[in-house]
Amino acid sequence: MNLTELNKVATAMVASGKGILAADESSGTIKKRFDAIGVESTEENRRDYREMLFRSKEAMSQFISGVILYDETIWQAAADGTPLVKLIESSGAIPGIKVDEGTQALPMCPGETVTVGLDKLAERLKKYYERGARFAKWRAVIDIGGGIPSMTAISVNAHALARYAALCQAAQIVPIVEPEVLMDGDHDIDRCYDVTSRVLNKTFQELRVQRVALEGMVLKPNMAISGKKSPKQASVEEVAEKTVRLLKACVPAAVPGIAFLSGGQSDEEATAHLNAMHKLGPLPWGLTFSYGRALQAAPQKAWSGKAENVAAGQRAFSHRARMNGLASRGEWQSSLEKKAA
C-alpha cells in the first residue's frame, strides 16, 4: 500500500469548490428515476444519460472531483466508442466504483439490514483498478425506529465497512466509508444526532482495529437532520450547527475529507445545509458533497430521454454542480437559484 498516493487521491476528491457525483444507481433505482420521466430503462438509455453527464464540460472540469460508477457503467463505452471511464478522466475528475452488493435482512434483528459483498471483493477491486477506478464506495444502512438501531446492526455494519476499507487500501483504492443513518422516520434531529454519533464512533473503532489508514479514506455520512415525518423540522442553521458539532466530536482530523450524502433532501436543502456549515469557521477536514439525486433530478427532467434535450440536461447539471461547488466554500446564496430559473 502506498499511503502517499492514497492520500493524494483522497485529498483531490474533497478539493475546495468541488464534490463527487454519485452516478452509481443500481438497475432498480435508475429504473424508478427513468419511470418518473417516462424513459425506458434500457442499457443504451442508461449509457446515453450518463454520457450526457460526463460530457458536461463545465460541470465536470470545474465542480466535480470524482464520479462513483455502477458496475455496468464502468465497462460501458460512449456512443463513439470512448470508454466512459476515459471521458471522466479527460475532464480531470477521478473515476470510482460502488462495490457493495446491497443489503440483506439481518438475522435476529427484525427491521434491520446488513450490507453484503465482501466475498471475492479483493479480485473485483483488482479488475476495477485496472479499468481506472481509484476510489470505491460501500454503503451501510442504519434505520431509526422503535427500539432500533440495535447495537448488533451498528456493529456488524461497522465491521463490514472496515473490512471493505482495508481491502480497498490493500488494492491501492481509496475507500469512501458510507454509514448512512436514514432520515425516513418521524424522529427529531436530536435522535438523529445520538444515533449518528454511535454509528460514527463504532465505525472509527472498527477502522482502527482493522488497520485502515485514516489518511487514505473519505467519509460519506448523513447530516444531523430531522426525520422526514417529524412534526419538528430543524432549521438550516440548526442542521449545520449540530452536524459540524457531531463531526468534530466523532471524526479524527487525520481523515482528509468528508463528502455528505443528500439522502432524501431536496436539491436546494442539500445545498443550503452544506453552505451553512462552511459559515461556521475553519474545519479540521475538507467538507463537501457526494450527491446523487440532488445533482441529477434536474438534468434527468430536462433531458427526458430525448437527444435534442442533451444541451438542456447538461445546463441543468452544470447549474446544480456549480451551486454545490459554491456551497462547499460557503459562497452560495438562494438568490443564485432564482437567477438561473
Catalytic residue selected from 25, 51, 112, 178:
178
Q: If you compute the radius of gyration of the chain from its CA atoms, what whole number of angstroms results?
A: 19
Q: Each residue of 224-244: b (16+ CB within 10 Å) or e?
A: bbbbeebeeebeeeebbbbbb
C-alpha cell at 215: 489518511
The answer to whether 149 touches 112, Cβ cutoff 8 Å, is yes
Interatomic CA distance for residues 154 and 179, integer angstroms: 9
Catalytic residue selected from 18, 98, 137, 220:
220
3-state secondary structure of 81: coil
CA diameter of the chain: 53
Of the candidates 191, 334, 215, the one whose C-alpha atom is nearest the C-alpha of residue 267 is 334
3-state secondary structure of 328: coil
* 241 is known as an active-site residue: no
C-alpha cell at 322: 456549480
Name the residues annotated as catalytic.
178, 220
